[in-house]
Every structure is written in C-alpha cells, then in structure tokens.
Structure 1
Amino acid sequence: MNQPSVPDSGQWFSNLLKSQQAVLGPFTADQAFAPWMQAATAFTSWQQETIKQMTSFWPMSMAAAIPGFPPAVNVAADRRFSAEAWTKNPGFDMLSKSYLVQTQSLQQALDAAPMDERTKAQWGFLLRQVVDALSPANCLLTNPEALKTAMDTGGRSLIEGARLFMEDFAKGRVSMTDEKAFEVGKNVALSPGSVVFENEVFQLIQYAPSTDEVKRTPLLIVPPCINKFYILDLQPENSLVAYAVSQGHTVFLVSWRNIDASLGHLTWDDYQQQGVMTALDVAREISGSERVNTLGFCIGGSLLACTLAVMAAKGQADKVASLTLLTTLLDFSDTGELGLMITPQSMALREASIGKGGVLHGRELAHMFAALRANDLIWPYVVNGYLQGKAPPPFDLLYWNADDSNLPGPMACFFMRQGYLENKIRVPGGTVQSGVPVDLRQITTPAFIYASREDHIVPWKTAYATTQLLGGPRTFVLGASGHIAGVINPPAKKKRSYWELAPADADAAAPSPAAEAQPALDPDPEHWFKQAQQYPGSWWTAWSEWLGQQGGDETVPARKTLGSKKYKPIEPAPGRYVKAKAT
C-alpha cells in the first residue's frame, strides 16, 4: 500500500478539522479551528520544504567531500559542527545538516502555532531543551570527533571520559572547570580586610584602605544571595571591590550565610532587618558617617531597593546617601526565559514544600540557570569530558559559577511569587515588607541604574523600567555583553563599551542639585537608546565619577585599623561564611 504523500497528510488533517465543523457548528469551528487549519497548511508547507532539503543533502554531501567543491545547501553555521570531521565525511555532513534543518522546521512550526505568547515561549523553551539534547554531537556513535579521538588514543579517551562521568555523577552536576585548582581566600577573593560583624544571616566585611585619604561616606555592597559574593572580588585585576577601594571608598560588603536546614525558617523580612538594615547601621557606626552609599547586584539589588523603601516608610531614608543597582529587577513584566519556569502550578508546589520552612538548594538553582544556556553551560562539557576524555581546564569564573548557595524557602518563595509570578513589588503598596506597605517611589536618594545589553537573566529593557519606579534623580547606563561579563569589566582591560545620555540631554527639571547633571530618562527604553551616546571602555569610570558626587567631597585620613571598639575584627576576609559549601 502506498504511503500518503506530503500533501495527502496535510489534506487528511484539514479534512479531520472540517469533519468537526458539522458536529460543533460553524461559529464554534470558525473560532476554535481556523487558527489550527492555518497552522496545518503552514506545517504542510514546511514539511515539504524540509523533505526537499533533506533529499538534496546526500548528493551534495557526497560532492562536498571532493576538495574545493563548495557547499550547495544553505544551512546556518553551528559551532557544534564546525570541526573538519563533520564536513569531511558525507554521512556525518548529512547528519549534521539534517539535524539543523529539522530543528529550524520545528521552531517554525511552533512559531505559527495558535497559542498565546507565554505558552508558545514555554513550549519553545522545552523544545530547545529536547532538540539540544538530541544533537548528534552529544552521542559517541554520531560524533566523528569523539570517534577519531577514541581511535587515536586506543580507547583511553573513553576510559577517561567514563571516569569524569562517574565523578560528576557523584557530584550531581557537569563539571565546567578544575575545581581543585581554586580555594576561596587563597587564589580567589583576595582583597585584604576583616570580618567586623556576623549574625545568623550574614558576615560584614570591611576592606582595608589602599589610599591615604578616604571619602567620609562609606560604600556598602549587597551582593546576590543566590551566589557567592566573590564574583565582585575574583582577582585583583578584575575586582570591583578593589577598584572601589582604590577610588578612596571605605568598602563594606555583605557575605551571605549559605543556608542549611537549621536556618530554613528565614524570611524576606529577616534578610531586610537582620541583613541590610543591620549592615547599614554597623557601617555607619564603624565609619562615623551618618549616611552610607549603597550598591546592590542582581537579587541583592532587589532586596536593597525594597529595604530602602521600607526605611523610607519608617522615616529612616536619611541613612542612605545613594543607591546603585546592577542588573536588578524591580519590574518583572519581562524576565526572559527564567520567568517561564515560575508558573502558578510550580509556585504552589514549591510553597507547599518549603514555603513555611525548608531549603531551596543551590544545586537546583544551578541546574535552572544552566538550562537557560544549555549549549554553553552543559553540552560542550559533556562532549569534551565524557565523549573525548578531556578534563576541563582551570577557570576562576566557572569555579565561582559552580560554588552553589542555598536559600531559605520562605524567603525564596516570597521573592518568586511577589516578583516573578505576580509582579507586585513595582506596585505602590502592592506588598507588605517588614510590616509596612512598600512604595518604591519613596526612594528619593540619587540612583545609578546599570544593565547589560545581552543579559539573558535580567533583560536590559526590564531593568530600565526601574527608572520609572523610583522617586529620586536617576542615571541609567547600559553596558555591553551579558549578566556577568558586562558587570565585571575593569577599566584597565580597555574592553567593550557602554551607553549613557550625553550631558547636553541633562534633565533641567531635576529636583535636587545632585541630580542637575542627570540625564532625562524617557519611559521608552528604545527611545532612550537612540538618544544615548556610546563610549568605549568600562562603565566603572562613569559610575566612579557619579559616586564621587554623592555623599559630599569631604575626605578623612584612612584608618590603620579596621572595625571599632564596638565591632572588633572577628577574622580576616573573606571570612567563614563564603567558604561554606552548599549541602
């Protein structure tokens, strides 16, 4: 019996839909089935085009094996198949091209499916996970590079790959670097200083000055609690901490506790009161300054901004001189693919399990973030490690990335529900935090807001929305690159670039002297970008100039000893908390 042709299969699907029309009536059919009939027609067209390309692969792949013969099939280049072994053999060449064309066809079919954008994005994310996993590069028998390596080494690469797999299996994750090559406090997190305060939530580090004079107003850094703080102090040459110290700031930094079961009861309010508020008061007492400049990174920025709104509601806004937010979300209207993982159903399950007490394990968070970029953070290490027996080289950034941190369940659930799921943090009075309704408009201190243009975790246009939520003068700067590489961009490297409004676009109606040079910020991020000027190099210099204007120009002699009579040094930086491993 003959198989149905491609048009026949499409006609069969169309006839099936039409047969339902007689049962359901014309109105229902028009409303419910018309989009699907359009999708069926489009799918048939893609199916025909896919088969057409597939049937041309074999002769073209055979011809491509002839030296100097140009490829005749237009398939987008993919680094997974960039090695010569993939194009030299006609079979592997056809396999890789067939995979790429079918991947493209599946995505096109999904794009035309009659469903809402969020549902389509969720299916798109799941489709990409499956398609990425099924790449022929990820299987020994369909990866010519791995097969050649196995033959060249007499099978030793397979033995070594099996050993690496068993090590990773025991750890529960894929290794991306040689983790034995690094130790916190030995060759990462090296800036000198002392822990001057600690409680069950955090340790406070005061860093030693590197200048004879320091600014009277200190700087408090609040890093994300889902990662270790030393991404901001990885090496002396790329340390934001060391840079701030070199600019004459007395730097205090919050080192969050790596949560275990005994601390699974901690809430978002606890992180505000026992965390940020306490750190501010200790920094004020040690420095002798009434006000403190503050900086928050990622979720640390969200926590810091919410805390400042709470303090403003309680009449304590005068404790803070300025606010810097790095890749921070306060408006969660577009959170990229990360937000697709947080649904009402998944949130209800999570709250039932850890919402009243428990631990959100760092390993789970790491898997979630890796899934966002599986072709960068998972599969290359599977191929190189398990299939080719190549242990990953030492890389400090990837060591930090693998150094997981746990979160208390109640705290994490509050942030995910009020932020990612319901987007209530941005709404005046939409949430009650530390006993008061939170209104971000009450934050009237000058704010420096930074976003990275290629950030897949905090989309820059969503981060830009913060400029419309705060009540004080605001400066927005957009840096090149992604969530981490964009932030960690020291001036000495002379890399990348950043965008900000030129001084000529200053807001003449700025409400305070400190804001007179602040740019006018359009509500539309695209319009802002068209007005902005691109500058070469690091955004750190622009931030340093801005920060120098906050808290006054007064300087005082740098102290030779850290801490104070009330808060004596406990141990050298980076302290115990950051060294604790997630369990």
Structure 2
Amino acid sequence: MADRTDSTTTMESPFAAFFDMQGEAMREMFGDVSPQDAFAGTDWSSVANRLQALWLDFVREQSAQAMGSNPFDPAQWMTLAKGLSQADPMAVFAANQKLVHDSVDLWQNVLGAGMTGAKTREADEAPALPHKDRRFADPAWRDHPAYALLHQTYLMLAEYFTTVAREMSGVSPEHKQQLAFATQALVDAMSPDNFLLTNPVVLQRTIETKGDNLVKGMKHLINDLQKGQLTHTDADAFTLGENLAATPGKVVHETPLYQLIQYSPTTDKVLATPIIIFPPWINRFYILDLTPKKSFIRWAVEQGITIFVVSWKSADASMKDVIWDDYIRSQMEAIDHVRARLDVPAVHTIGYCVAGTTLAATLAILHRRGEQDKVASATFFTAQVDFEKSGDLKHFIDDGQLSAIGKLSKDGYLDGRYLAATFNALRGKDLIWNYVVNNYLLGQDYPAFDLLHWNGDVTNLPAKWHSDYLRDLYRDNKLVQPDALSADGTPIDLTLVETPVFIQAGKEDHIAPAESVWRMTRHFKGDTTFMLAGSGHIAGVVNPPEAGKYQYWVGDSSAPTLKAFVDGATERPGSWWPHWLEWLHALDDATVPATGKRKPGGKGDTVIEDAPGRYVKSR
C-alpha cells in the first residue's frame, strides 16, 4: 500500500507542478493583479455580445442566400488518408522509444528547471529547448516553463506522428505519401498557437485591447466565410494598371480564350526576334508584372526586348467544352499572330508552370508538322513534362478526389477558390494557420503585399480540361510516352523537339520540384540548358537583379541526375535573369529599330485597349 501511495504521489507531483507553473505564468502575464482582476477591468459581456451579434448576422445572411458549398471549408477540398493502423511495427516501436526518451528530456530540461527556479530565473537563463519552430519564436513561448513545455511537447508529438506516417508499410508509395501529407496537415492544425487559451501572445493581446482583437478577428473571419476564401492581404492596397500590372502596353489581339498584350519599348533598338510569354492559366499573368521593382516584364522591356504576354480568360459556363487542344491552338495562334504582326520568321517563347507543359506539347506538334522553325527558342519557368516525381500535388489526384472535383464543377468550370485552397494546403503552416492566428486571433490589419494579393486573385478553370490534365498528366504521366496523347489532331512526341531550350527550376519548389523539372532535360532532342535557382515556385522566378537575393547554379546540363548536376555546379549570387539574357543573346543578338508596330498603338496601328486589359480583371 505504501508503495502504491508513493507511486501515485510521484505521478501526480509533476502535473501539479505544471499547473502551478501555468498559474504563475498567468500571474506574470497580468502583472501584479490576479487574472480575475485583469479580466474584470473589461466589460467582457459587451465583447461577447458584439461577437454574438456579428456571428448571428452572418448566419442569417447565409441562411437567406442559401449559398451551399463553400470553398473555405477544408472538408470540401481535402480528404484525409486512413489512420496509422498499418504502420510498420518496428518503426512504431523505434518511434515510441524516441518519444519516451524525448519526453523524459523535456520533463527534466524544461519542467524540472521550472520547478527549481521558475520564480528567480532571468529570461535569458531559460533552459535550452530541443525543438525549434518559428511559430513559437515570440519570447512569451519561452519565458515561462508552462508555455515552453506546452509547445515543446506539441513539437515532440508532431515529430512522432509524422515519423510513424512516413514509416508506413504494406501500402503503396502513393498512399504512404498521402498519409504523411494528411498527418502533417493535422498536426499543423492542432498547434497550440492556433488557439486562444493556449497561445500566450494572443492572451496578452486580448488583455491589452480589452477583447477588441477578438471582435476585429471575428469580422475578418466572417468576411472570409462570406467570400469563401482566406484573406492574406489588404484588398484595397493594389489596383491593376496603377501599382500592379502597370507596365505600359496595349492589347493587340483577342479571342474568347485569351488577350494578347504587347508592351511599349523603352529603348531605341530592340532584339529582332520578339518574345511571347505564356503564363499559367491557373493564375493571373501579372505574377511577371508585379510592382515595377519586381516586374520581369518591365525588366525585359528595358533590356531591349519586344515582349508579348498572353492574358488567359478566367473560365465561366461558356468555356465548359474547352480542353487542352484549345490552349495548344491558342499558343500556336499567338505565335503566328506575332510573326505576322511584326513580319518576323520566328519568335522566342517562355512557358511558366502548366503553360510550360503545354508549350512543350506545342513544340512537339510543330515539329511533327514540320513547322518548328516558327519558334527560335523556348524557356521554361518551373515547368514539368515528366510527372513521376511531381510532388505534393499528387496527393489530390486519386479517383475519389477527381470525382469530388467533378462534383464541384457543375457549371462546367472549377471555382478558382478551390484551387487556391489546395495550393494553400500544400503550405498550410505558412499560408493557412499563420493567417488564422494573425487575422482571427490577434485581429491584425492586413498587410499590403503584392505577391499575396496576386496569390489571392483566383482564376476559374475549365472543368473538363482540368480533370484531363490531372488524370492524363499528373496521374498517368502520358506526356512523356510518345504518341500517347494528341492535340489538334496531331500525336505528341517530345523526343522530336530540337528547339534550343532553357530550363529553370527552383531549389525549394514544392509545386514543381526541381527533380521533376530536371527530367525535362531527358526528353528533348535539341540543345538543352538547365539552371537551378534558389528559393521556390514564385520567388525562384521573380527575383530581380536589384533585389540582390538568393543565388543560382549553372553546370553540366547533360549530367545523368540532378544530384550530379548540383555536385558539379557553380553557385553564383543574386538573380539569374542576366544569365538567361546572355543565353538569349548568344542565340541571336540582331537588333532592329523600335519603330512601326514595335510601338503598339502608334500611327496606323489599331489596338483593342490599354494593358493590362479586361480579361485579367474578370472574376
């Protein structure tokens, strides 16, 4: 009996000490007054009434409108994989051992130190913490052992569960990856910084503002629920044509699927061969024409290049029958239009992301038809043709998810908010939960950030083509199988392509992983130059020289693997744009005067409207 009593006391004492420290942490937070006194200084019933009134108004509005499904609801776009029941027993045993060991370390290093000196220890004498995560960078998470133990325990358990998920056995690699992804999403959602009562920073803000942060956060939440999309930035901070997409130019051609913009020259002479940029139709084209200091288009124009860009139309019910063939035909039509407009034999082309995938197919078709000389070169920004190693997006393309996407596209197009939610989920910690804390709990004002504004400017997709794209390319990887696909009546074989190509990949790209982009070098027959840029899918591309950021690697594009390329590559600091420009000039540096139709909208040149045009503004 005595032994049992001693054991019980031993087990209870640490938890009693832990809760004692929580009380101590609250007292430190509130100063010399008790928590009750601190909260008593505010009319919390008034705060509660304001929150309730906001929510009831929102519910009544939704009931009246009967909006139905909402892309903001994660259940609409993410299906979690099965549980951990199939995990490798040995891996689970090893993970359990590590969990026990790490738990003892935490109790000794964090809680033990708190029990012996929490009240006298200076802040800079806090015990070393084994787990690092920028979500808990605020000193409030470390200043008191209660909060240190809370977030360290969470990080320890998160590591445990994700490790077990990665060590799953008896299932296909695809389902293992899905489980690991779903587990990571779950542990991200359960982080203590996402909740009011377990986040010391939010608690402190609530006391300081007397609850106004919660009222403001509720307004933000209701606004996002109403529009069905998480807000990342101040919607009123940017206006297209003024401080975004503001490079001067004209819309010189238009079809039901796209507008073609030509930019006004800023130099007396320009390269004889113009460039057409094909941006992804899943986003707005102005990712390449952000604020003037970040604009690739403005920079390229200033280098003496005649630049055209395609601005794709956001899909509506009239585009329910649009398929891949239509985008390929549009690329070929744009090439022919520019050749005729400027009376040139060929154009340079740039394809970004999925438009780069389509550009590869376009080149293959032109080669099959003997028309390859229409394109002098092709540059690919983070584009894939071989989807075997295509990354986290593959978690969204099993049969069940493809069926769910079809049910969300009843009018023949997929609402762009669903796609935005999917891309946000790929980086949930940064693009979802970070904003839940800042927007809803802390009630912070939205920042004015051009890149996040573009990220939230969603584009609808033709449902039929989007489904075919996921099934035929991502899932079945048919594009690299000669003649497995065709478009506009012509079979597609990438091995026919002899056009000189420049391939850019992002070292940290989670949408088009560098390993996946690298594989493009194995499928074209002609001269291929590969370059690896620092950062990811966006910052790896949009990296102006003036910023002095990141780096890039150049090396042997014929290396057998990406690893071999990196091992033998030379790292260079800063932007890769000038390096690409040297490559372009090496192909052909002939110039012509920037006169006549090189200046869109000049005498005798009929244009449609000023850049950036109507299509980019359509919702």
TM-score by length of structure 1 reads 0.87
Find the partner of 1:320 among 372, 375, 389: 375
2:104, 2:467 → 1: CA distance? 50
Equivalents in 2 of 1:241, 1:410: separation in Å?
31
Give the Cα–Cα distance (whole angstroms) in 2 for the partners of residues 563 and 550 of structure 1.
29
2:113 is aligned to 60
Counterparts of residues 538-553 of structure 1 (less than 5 Å):
538-551=575-588, 553=590
Instruction: State yes or no: 1:417 paired with 2:471.
Output: yes
Alignment of structure 1 residues 493-572 onto 2, 5 Å: 493-501=547-555, 519-551=556-588, 553-559=590-596, 561-562=599-600, 568-572=606-610
Equivalent in the alignment of 1:332: 387
CA distance in 1, matches of 2:562, 2:357: 20
- 3-state DSSP of counterpart to 1:328: coil
Task: Tell me the alpha carbon deviations over residues 477-497 of structure 1, each in whole angstroms, 9 at most, x when there is no partner.
Answer: 111111111101111222221
CA contact (8 A) 2:102 2:156 kept: yes
CA distance in 1, matches of 2:561, 2:585: 28
Query: 1:124-160, CA deviations, whole angstroms, 9 ceiling, x for partnerless residues?
Result: 1111111111111000111111111111112211111
Judge which range, 328-337 or 168-177, deviates more: 168-177
| Partner deviation per Cα, 1:353-405 (whole Å, 9 max, x = no partner) | 759x7112210110000011111111111111111111221111100000000
CA-CA distance at 1:564 after TM superposition: 9.0
- Structure 2 unaligned spans of 5+: 8-84
CA gap 1:156/1:430 in 2 versus in 1, 3 angstroms: same
The 2-side partners of 1:475 and 1:90 are apart by: 54
Q: 1:347 corresponds to which residue?
A: 402
Determine if contact 1:336/1:456 at 8 Å carries over to the other structure: yes
The within-5 A match list for 1:76-115 is 76-115=131-170
Q: Spell out, residue by residue over 1:285-336, the C-alpha distance to the aligned partner (whole angstroms, 9 max, x if none).
A: 1111010100011111111111111121122111110000010001111111
Residue 418 of structure 2: aligned partner:
364
Alignment match, 2:523: 469
Q: CA deviation at 1:520?
A: 4.9
What displacement does 1:499 show?
A: 0.8
Cα pair distance change 1:437/1:240, threshold 3 Å: same
In structure 1, the partner of 2:257 is 201
* Cα shift at 1:203: 0.2
Q: What is the rounded CA distance, in whole Å, between the counterparts of 1:78 and 1:147 in structure 2? A: 20
Pairwise mapping of residues 173-572 of structure 1 onto structure 2 (< 5 A)?
173-273=229-329, 275-350=330-405, 354=409, 358-501=412-555, 519-551=556-588, 553-559=590-596, 561-562=599-600, 568-572=606-610
List runs of 5+ in structure 1 lacking aligned partners. 6-32, 502-518
CA deviations 1:157-196 (Å, max 9, x no partner) are 1111111111111121221110111111121001111001
1:20: which partner in 2?
A: none
CA contact (8 A) 2:234 2:447 kept: yes
Contact in 2 for aligned 1:268/1:410 (Cα 8 Å):
no
Deviation at 1:241, TM superposition (A): 0.7
* Structure 2 Cα separation of the partners of residues 490 and 335 of structure 1: 27
Whether the 8 Å contact between 2:284 and 2:311 is mirrored in structure 1 is yes
User: What displacement does 1:568 show?
Assistant: 2.3
Q: Structure 1: how far apart are the matches of 2:424 and 2:88?
A: 34
Supply the AA of the counterpart residue of 1:415: Y
Q: 1:442 to 1:565 in 2, by over 3 A?
A: farther
Q: Is the contact made by 1:258 and 1:407 (CA closer than 8 Å) also made in structure 2?
A: yes
Q: How far 1:253 sits from its partner (Å)?
A: 0.6
C-alpha separation in 1, matches of 2:305 and 2:86: 64
Answering whether residue 104 of structure 2 is matched by residue 49 of structure 1, we say no
Note the C-alpha offset of 1:58. 2.8
544-553 or 158-167, larger mean C-alpha shift: 544-553
Q: Is the 8 A contact 1:322 1:551 kept in 2?
A: no
Structure 2: how far apart are the matches of 1:326 and 1:193? Answer: 23
Cα distance in 2, alignment partners of residues 104 and 530 from structure 1? 30
Task: From the superposition, tell whether residues 241 and 110 of structure 1 become closer, same or farther in structure 2 (CA, over 3 Å).
Answer: same
Preserved CA contact (<8 Å) 2:265 2:594: no
**How far is 1:70 from its partner?**
4.3
Distance 1:252 1:233 in 2: 12
Alpha-carbon deviation of 1:426?
A: 1.2
Residues 50, 105 of structure 1: 8 Å contact kept: no
Counterpart CA distance in 2 for 1:212 and 1:257 is: 33
2:189 — aligned with what?
133
Alpha carbons of 1:450 and 1:40: their partners in 2 closer, same or farther (altered >3 Å)? closer
Contact persistence 2:99–2:156 (CA under 8 A): no
| Percent identity between the two aligned chains | 39
Q: 1:499 to 1:558 in 2, by over 3 A?
A: farther
Moved more, 68-77 or 455-464: 68-77
Letter in 1 for 2:454: W
- Aligned counterpart, 2:222: 166
Matches of 1:48 and 1:102, distance apart in 2:
11
Q: Which digits, 9 at most, give the CA deviation of each residue in 1:6-60, with x for residues without a partner? A: xxxxxxxxxxxxxxxxxxxxxxxxxxx9984424533542453354345444333
**Equivalent position SS for 2:384:** coil
TM-score with structure 2 length normalisation?
A: 0.82
**Structure 2 counterpart of 1:369, one-letter code:** F
Letter paired with 2:222? M
Give 1:119 shift.
Answer: 2.0
The residue identity in structure 2 corresponding to 1:580 is S
Q: Which residue of 1 aligns with 2:75?
A: none
Instruction: Give secondary structure in 1 for the equivalent of 2:236.
Output: helix
- The verdict on how the C-alpha distance between 1:477 and 1:39 changes in structure 2, with shifts beyond 3 A counting, is closer
SS of residue paired to 2:583: helix
Aligned equivalents of 1:61 and 1:361: distance in 2? 52
Distance change (3 Å), C-alpha of 1:362 and 1:230: same
Would the aligned equivalents of 1:498 and 1:539 in 2 still touch at CA under 8 Å? yes
Amino acid at match of 2:90: Q
1:145 aligned residue: 201
Q: What is the CA RMSD across the aligned residues, in angstroms?
A: 2.4
- SS of the residue 2:213 aligns to: helix
- 1:217-264 CA-partner distances (Å, limit 9, x unpaired): 111000011000001010222211111111211111100001111212
Alpha carbons of 1:283 and 1:426: their partners in 2 closer, same or farther (altered >3 Å)? Answer: same
The amino acid across from 1:58 in the alignment is: L
SS at match of 1:245: helix
Farther-moved stretch of structure 1 (49-58 vs 200-209): 49-58
The alpha-carbon deviation at position 572 of structure 1 amounts to 0.4
Query: Which deviates further from its counterpart, 83-92 or 194-203?
Result: 83-92
The number of aligned residues is 533
